[in-house]
């Protein structure tokens, strides 16, 4: 996307970052500083996205799902009319978006839980901006929305940023499992 920015009375085209929607006049030095700030913010966001998108359950981290991953690992709603979970262990799916502050608060809690329940629980994330079809299939209207999926039975949906102790209680009540550290005791 291109934007025109007035610079000392001249128009020039610059690439804009999707999250940055500003229209101001820049003088030469301020323009350079702002470009550096925008570049740094963009680079930091790209690095964070690369880091989080490469995390997987083998590394005891959450896994980001695409539609195809969801169809393969969770539920193939294109072929089946009745719910049938494809996984071996229970799962939590976090429906989230980059711009959602409560989603950002839940993310580290889910990372901790994926480590604490390693091998007992899969923790998945679905970016509702990138995977709009999945969000639509589950009727996601507010985020974060969390889908608790037992190995047998129907999934249960919760909305809002839950604290860690609420997650632990839900995991014990819905799935009947305890963290690896507690299970050893």
Residues 68 and 113 in one domain: yes
Percent pLDDT > 90 in the chain is 58
Asked whether the whole model's pTM tops 0.75, one would answer: no
Report how many domains make up the chain: 2
Taking only the tens place, the pLDDT of each residue in 42-81 is: 444 444 444 444 344 344 478 999 999 999 999 999 999 8
Taking only the tens place, the pLDDT of each residue in 78-94 is: 999 899 999 999 999 99
Q: Which domain holds residue 160?
A: 59-183
Residues 88 and 168 in one domain: yes
Residues 15 and 89 in one domain: no
The pLDDT value recorded for residue 178 is 79
- What CATH number does residue 99 fall under? 3.40.30.10
Residues 137 and 103 in one domain: yes
Among 32, 34, 37, 103, the one annotated catalytic: 103
Among 32, 34, 37, 100, the one annotated catalytic: 100
Residues 76 and 164 in one domain: yes
Query: DSSP of the chain, one letter per residue?
Result: -EEEEEETTEEEEEE--TT------B-HHHHHHHHHHHHHHHHHHHHHHHHHHT--GGGTS-EE--HHHHHHHT--TTT-SS-----SS-EEEEEE-TT-HHHHHHHHHHHHHHHHTTTT-EEEEEETTT-HHHHHHTT--SSSEEEEE-SSS--EEEES---HHHHHHHIIIII----HHHHT-
Residues 47 and 94 in one domain: no
Is 100 labeled as catalytic in the residue annotation?
yes
Is 32 labeled as catalytic in the residue annotation?
no
């Amino acid at each position: 996307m291109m934007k025109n920015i007035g610079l000392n009375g001249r128009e020039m085209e610059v690439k804009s970052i999707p999250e940055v929607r500003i229209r101001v006049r820049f003088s030469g030095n301020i323009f350079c500083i702002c470009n550096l700030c925008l570049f740094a913010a963009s680079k930091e966001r790209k690095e964070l996205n690369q880091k989080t998108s490469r995390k997987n359950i083998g590394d005891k981290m959450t896994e980001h799902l695409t539609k195809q991953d969801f169809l393969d690992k969770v539920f193939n709603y294109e072929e089946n009319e009745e719910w049938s979970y494809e996984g071996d262990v229970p799962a939590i799916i976090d429906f989230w978006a980059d711009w959602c502050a409560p989603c950002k608060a839940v993310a580290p809690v889910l990372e901790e839980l994926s480590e604490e329940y390693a091998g007992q629980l899969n923790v998945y994330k679905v970016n509702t901006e990138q995977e709009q079809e999945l969000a639509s299939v589950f009727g996601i209207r507010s985020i974060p929305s969390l889908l608790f999926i037992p190995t047998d039975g129907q999934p249960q949906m919760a909305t809002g940023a839950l604290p860690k102790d609420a997650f632990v209680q839900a995991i014990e009540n819905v799935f009947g499992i305890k963290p690896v550290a507690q299970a050893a005791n």
